[in-house]
Chains A and B, each alone.
Chain A
């Protein structure tokens, strides 16, 4: 059941990101809502669900927009899993933690994407990429992470209440 819900929400968020997401772009930079959703799910639920969401999202993005399948699959999967593992012993009801995780994940994702797609083709102008793409997306993603956190929290509470993760606080 939870996997069907995850698949449908992933599809919905992917469609939103690739069509309507262009309308909330500032200076050509779109916030990566998919990444924020993966991190929020990994944080709110557990590492396995983060991994699954990451795989679904990565496959979707690779199939529709990537040059080869595997890059986003790998990065999103790793990010979802890591977010789940790192937040295993953390207090689970804090927006700020999710935003911080999204920040780190954005840095990691963009750096990994740069290495896998740009650096291997021979472009070494990393500073230009940092200024043009990574820094604006960092700021924008951490803003977008707040509403996405509440969506992920709602889905997690509604469909999948993991008793192990309920904290005593």
Chain B
């Protein structure tokens, strides 16, 4: 066994010494070298490619953690952006409402107006009364008109110190005299219960040519029909 190794080692030494001697001063690869190099280049290139790919895959798996963190952050950002958007929407709605009220104040510049907020509504379904948050402390009195940006809403039926009870125009306990802007004919407007939240004009002349959906102006004093 040992002599076999010795033999191989001697042959190996002889061959390498021989090769060294032959290739001591070489300028170009020997044919054997060239053939080997030709094959090896391709293999080496392939190797490098494979290593690159493996590195990419490892990087992919390593990147998932950071992606998760990024996802979390983006999610939070989206949520906060949505919250901001909805609050901005609220502000926009309020802006539209307030500018309508401001326009209304200019329309009715002859009358002093006070802004109020609806704080409660009739619990039942029979009457359309509601409560606003201003009362005698702001100089409100019974029978004052309550208007919105779209026109007459009702009148004050009771006045407390810091609240007032308002009877709506769509409540059939009250009526108001009115004049059609289109034809100048008179009549009075009260609730119409055959249709929900609609008003009806009564007691106008036969030939007054009143059409639904047109504007009517009401007089200053609403009167009580009860």
- Total interface residues on B, using CB and 8 Å? 19
Q: Is chain B's binding surface mostly helix, strand, loop or mixed?
A: loop
Contacts A18-B120, A132-B193, A132-B196 hold; do A65 and B125 have CB atoms under 8 A apart? no
Asked if A157 is at the interface (CB within 8 A of a chain B CB), the reply is: no
Contacts A113-B126, A118-B126, A123-B172 hold; do A19 and B197 have CB atoms under 8 A apart? no
Shortest beta-carbon distance from B88 to chain A in Å: 22
User: Which of A15, A18, A29, A128 contacts B125 (CB under 8 A)?
Assistant: A29
Asked if A163 is at the interface (CB within 8 A of a chain B CB), the reply is: no
Closest to A118 in B: B126
Asked if B63 is at the interface (CB within 8 A of a chain A CB), the reply is: no
User: Which of A18, A29, A32, A132 contacts B121 (CB under 8 A)?
Assistant: A18
Chain A positions 1-54 with a Cβ under 8 Å from a chain B Cβ: 14-15, 17-19, 21-22, 27-30, 32, 34
Closest to B192 in A: A128
In whole angstroms, how far apart are the Cα atoms of A40 and B182 in the complex? 54
In whole angstroms, how far apart are the Cα atoms of A67 and B122 in the complex? 11
Q: Is chain A's binding surface mostly helix, strand, loop or mixed?
A: helix
User: Which of B119, B125, B197 contacts A30 (CB under 8 A)?
Assistant: B125
Q: Is the CB of A67 within 8 A of B226?
A: yes
Could you say which of B120, B125, B126, B226 has the most chain A C-beta atoms within 10 Å of its C-beta? B125
Asked if B127 is at the interface (CB within 8 A of a chain A CB), the reply is: yes
Q: Is the CB of A28 within 8 A of B196?
A: yes
CB-CB under 8 A from B121, the residues of chain A are 18-19, 21-22
